[in-house]
Amino acid sequence: MNPSVSELLKIYANCLRSRRLDEELQNCYYSDPEWKRPGGIVRSLHSAIGNELGESAVACFLQSEDFLVARYRGYAALLGKGMNPERIVAEVLRKKIGPTKGLGGNSLFHDTERNIFGSSLILGSNFSTAVGLALAKKIKNAAGIVVLFFGDGEASRPAFCGALNLAALWELPLLLVCENDGVSLGADIRETSATPTIAERAKGFRVECATLSMSDPLAFAARAKEVVRNVREQRTPFLLEILEERHAPQSTFSDDKPFLGEMIPREKDPLTLFEKELVRLGIDSSTLAGRKTDAERAIAAAKAVAEQAEQISADEFLSIFYE
């Protein structure tokens, strides 16, 4: 089932907002020392510029009752599920309007009102979270599915095999989405994985799977829509592997300047390829330009709100540990 024009534009707009948010946070991180001082941004940011399309194409087909377990890199899945960008910026800035009042840092976003469950920097722990959420849905006979995003490096953690086994054994409505960029920190996947792909491991647990690339954005969007629908209707697990290339550094610790979308060669940027396909479908270039303007304005407004918000005080922070 091919996505409608409105669905494709929704995916496109989400990619644009995710990229602009990613760029804006990086620009602030590198240009304003206040962001990096104690009480401002700590640790580092993990950019997903160049990899927005995969998450967007899945997340934009989710419904309100679906549960999302996002990963620590990027913002496309969060935005696609409906999270307000100003809350993301606020969390990074340690402001009280952030989902955890700024205590979760720059990667552990959650929004229970939109059924977004926080990720974890303990790689592999999210598998257990996702299986538990899917089991809860089955026990309660609740509507919706659970979608988990993870990287190829996480698939080498033992919890991955356990998640596949239990998802198949209990027939859980769980969609596992592996974003395989072939690199875990600095290690090539050929040095860490005995299988050429991650999806083929699912076959050993009799979990249906597919491996797709970003070379044909429209075909990927159509397959993503189909996979989400099938998991929803059949109430059984599926592993979708997205083959992609990481363009950004591992984190802001790895460079001294922001990584922007314009740094990706146009012929290698999935978002640029997506734009060309949308034009080929007959979507006017002015419509696409309007989506870009909307994304820029939305993120600028989100940043302005977050910067003006109140920051958590030292007493409030300590009250978490000492009452």
- Each residue of 231-252: pLDDT tens digit? 999 999 999 999 998 877 667 6
Report the percent of the chain where pLDDT is more than 70: 92
For residue 35, what pLDDT band results from cuts at 50, 70 and 90? low
Residues 6+ apart with CB under 8 A from 308: none
The mean per-residue pLDDT over the stretch 18-22 comes to 96
Residue ranges making up the domain that contains 246 = 5-308
Number of domains composing the chain:
1
Name the least confident of 85-99, 154-168, 179-193.
179-193
For residues 12 and 9, give the distance between their C-alpha atoms in angstroms, rounded to a whole number: 5
Q: Is residue 152 part of a domain?
A: yes
For residues 236 and 175, give the distance between their C-alpha atoms in angstroms, rounded to a whole number: 8
Instruction: Give me the helix-helix angle, 125-140 and 158-169, nearest 10°.
Output: 10
Q: Is residue 318 part of a domain?
A: no
Q: Is residue 139 part of a domain?
A: yes
Name the least confident of 152-166, 226-240, 306-320.
306-320
CATH value at residue 97:
3.40.50.970
Question: Over the stretch 214-231, which tens digit does the pLDDT of each residue have?
Answer: 889 999 999 999 999 999
Q: Is residue 323 part of a domain?
A: no
